[in-house]
Structure 1
């Protein structure tokens, strides 16, 4: 048996690959390397460079590797970008998920783990947000994931597929052993951007919204360590292999930190001050986004191991430092080829 991991050379997907490899699980990665990296993968894990929407390719991989489960991470994920390019997002996220599910059905694979997002809840969900909260995505990104969730549920019901959909809140951090982390040069998540400001890679940090109806005027988010998130996927796989029913679950800790909290943590952990500039709030950004995380703990027995802001920041900082140092030492030609 093997797990097919789409987008497995990317940030979150590569952490699941490492978690599965650590557990002795066989897996194969399908990634077009548009945002992923070969260097993110453990040695010996097969990487097939290709399109997750290529149904013939997916069917061949399922047969060749004895795939019994699929974990689908491949997607475009920047909400503001999706507003400018809705067609691209619906094609990449919804269209390719539909094509992938068709191939999964044809190949007889009956277990599917789907990477979704808290963006399906929109800008003003009840807080903390339960899985049965109304879905009201405020961007094509969130809508593309919501549509994919519905397609998955319909295909699963028609063809005997069991699935776990995991709705991520704010993912951050890096592998504690520094084997993989955030490599994307244009990463937009706050912790990465703040760390790069501390390292002098960005010209300070811009904060969007400082007069919001929150305790300190800045947005509040539920940050989950990427290793804890990877472990949630491994637990979801175990649930499905044990004959568990289909589930949709939030992935978060159940508490939040403000933008000012994150900035203070990055400055504290790095020991570096950096300039912060206030900007107007961006339309569509929720003021507060915190998961009700009770269901995942109960259904999967999942328990986070790195639920501390300074720990999340510290792992991300150490990975960024090591990755930058390694990139600097590599020959220029090799760096260009990797990008």
Structure 2
């Protein structure tokens, strides 16, 4: 039984679905009130990760064999907490996850990191996991993800817990937020589905886009792999996808859509996913065209995001 923090969030729902498809049962942890059962082989537990006792008590009700930690380890949104309090909550949540892992004797802890840790690396990519990273961070999300990776590495070496860092690319698709402050695909698809405004975006801007359903499957494969040769994996498509490619896919799926973006040379960041492919056999099932068609159908079926 895999415990997923943030299991009812955007990426968490897709990880849960993928783990269920692979035969696992899941315990989803969230702070807000929720039904006791979210579906077959899924249990929802209410707990604040800063509350050590509440988190540990979950292990008395379920036999937890692994943890996927996706819940926010970042004081977000900005201003939600006084700076010291926000940092304290973020670090306490992370450390409590490791306390639970040790007490329950879980096989593996997965930690969500981000493509943003490469922001200070010169060039556009592809970026490999073994690149040296700056200790600085221009944004709190990559900053706290770097801290999480360092803490996870230390505890893996000192406690023997198997820790895997997921450096997650730009994820888009059902359940995602729009507009994203970091890339344009979600708001472009929403604009096509709803007839709403988009921008400011440029046709040549891009990033390593991975469709949400593929992201969930990649993380599930990393969680369940018999043996992993590395501690850190890029979870991405391994290619640059520009806004222009997204617009072309939208026009193919919805020919009556009129979306025009100003031109610019292609620019963006993408990741090397050799480790992920070699150690799990992962290959994306959704290219840009299939992802756009699936997401448009999802939104036009009445789903809000």
Interval containing the TM-score (normalised by the shorter chain): 0.7 to 0.9
Question: Structure 2 regions of 5+ residues with no counterpart?
Answer: none
Aligned pairs (5 A) from 1:1-339:
2-33=1-32, 42-75=39-72, 82=78, 87=83, 90-91=87-88, 93-126=90-123, 127-136=125-134, 137-173=137-173, 181-182=174-175, 184=177, 188=181, 190-200=184-194, 202=196, 204-208=197-201, 210=202, 218-239=204-225, 242-244=226-228, 246-274=230-258, 287-306=267-286, 308-324=287-303
Q: Deviations over 1:161-189 (max 9, x none)?
A: 0022111111123xxxxxxx216576555
**Partners of 1:220 and 1:260 in 2: how far apart?**
8
Higher helix share: 1
Give the conservation status (yes or no) of the 8 Å contact 2:112–2:165.
Answer: yes
Give the conservation status (yes or no) of the 8 Å contact 1:123–1:287.
Answer: no
Instruction: Give the CA deviation at 1:76.
Output: 6.8
Give the conservation status (yes or no) of the 8 Å contact 2:74–2:144.
Answer: no
Q: Deviations over 1:222-274 (max 9, x none)?
A: 111222222212221222xx354552011122211212222332233233434
Shift in CA distance, 302/183, structure 1 to aligned 2, threshold 3 Å: closer
**What TM-score, normalized by structure 1, do the two folds share?**
0.76
Shift in CA distance, 84/171, structure 1 to aligned 2, threshold 3 Å: same
**Partners of 1:52 and 1:267 in 2: how far apart?**
44
Question: Structure 1 regions of 5+ residues with no counterpart?
Answer: 174-180, 211-215, 279-285, 328-339
Give the conservation status (yes or no) of the 8 Å contact 2:176–2:186.
Answer: no
**Partners of 1:45 and 1:164 in 2: how far apart?**
23
Shift in CA distance, 167/272, structure 1 to aligned 2, threshold 3 Å: farther
